[in-house]
Chain A
Amino acid sequence: MRIYALAVYLFLYIPIGIIALFSFNAGRHASQFQGFSTQWYGKALSNPFVMDAFQTSLTVALASAVLATLFGTMAALALQSVRGRLRLAFDALIYIAVMVPGIVIGIATLIALVTLFGWLNPILAAIWPFAAKAPQLSLGYGSLIAAHGLFAMALVIIIVRARMAGMDRSLIEASADLGATPWGTFRQVTLPQIFPGILAGFLLAFTFSFDDFIIAFFVAGSQTTLPVYVFSSIRRGVTPEINAIGTMVLAVSLLLLITAQAILQRGRKAE
């Protein structure tokens, strides 16, 4: 059993080890090791396109995760008291959002927005009341955040709802009986109980957006997210710079994971 587990871990880590190893390659090619060097880390960190892509990814992931968490939680709360057709419609939408493959979402968003912008831009230009040129609607941050947020929001609704299902409703009733305002009840009773769900939803939403390639590939327009940049670098012919980027992202996420774990542990001990 142990040997089996070890084998699976080896399977999981050998490719990652190779990526990390070649990030220290002195040579230009990603397949022959020609001596130790950290030059590719310097190159990656001083490459304005890498930094730009990183910033774009971070902005999009943060914005879409915040909006998705906020609107998703609101929807999950409201859906508690909704029955009938509206409830059915929302359930269907959530189901479809999770089910439809990212590639279809990406392509559908692309052609819908390109067609829509094709209609709207001339109208906008015609009715623009100011002297300056009318702004052109185009793919970019907006479409990225909206498309990423969609799937993330569905995730948040599902997670928060699952959390609420396990909630002790008698506490809410007790709080109301004791004369608390609905807002007070929400803040002091409901929110603390569903908060882990909200946090988990936010983290998942952030990770999904930060890692997504396929939707961004279609709707990023002239923006470049980190995965899109990595994809075009691989096509260009890989240099160890890409390995360095991958290794850095991995190291940062490991650090975050360990920190989060440590904070949780301490919190548990404090209780």
Chain B
Amino acid sequence: MNEKKLKARDFITIGIFTAILWVVQMIIMYLGFLSPFVVAGYSVLIPIATGIPMMLYYARIEKFGMLTITSIIVAILLFIFGMGFLGAPICIVSGIIADLIAKSGKYKSWKKTVISCGVFNLWVSASYLPLVFTADSYQQSLLEGGYDAAFVDTLFTLVTPATYPVIILLCFVCGVIGAFIGKAVVRKNFEKAGIV
């Protein structure tokens, strides 16, 4: 691709990959319906599961703006699904930074792509925000709802404002791991088939 600017075709690709990312993360979110432990595991599961489509996505476009647009769309969707006013900006900011990092490596440098993927996945931490910032009322409502006190305690020692940096770090690390797994799958399948 010689042209640096995104064209109609790229916008279509962005739409498609954002749809895939969203569906994959929705499925994991649905799993979270079954058990609160899955909720606590979002920061591990989502970055790793989306690693495969993400790596393919990086290989398909290689132009500035792809991650920014994706993060804006994800932010809108997060907002609609109640992850709120704080989640959306985090999502967009991490998207733009990830885009800039990847751009600095001209979307070719593997190291920069990995870091960019890690940064991009910081948006996952946004889904914990309601848990963190409304922790007290949330905890109380869980207890009122008849939850086991010991369980609620465990959940809220895992997810508190104090551990929030750890969650952010976890998102980044798992994003990096996801990138490596994704790259391996892309190499094994898509590069071998000559698609990328």
- Tell me, yes or no, whether A binds B: no
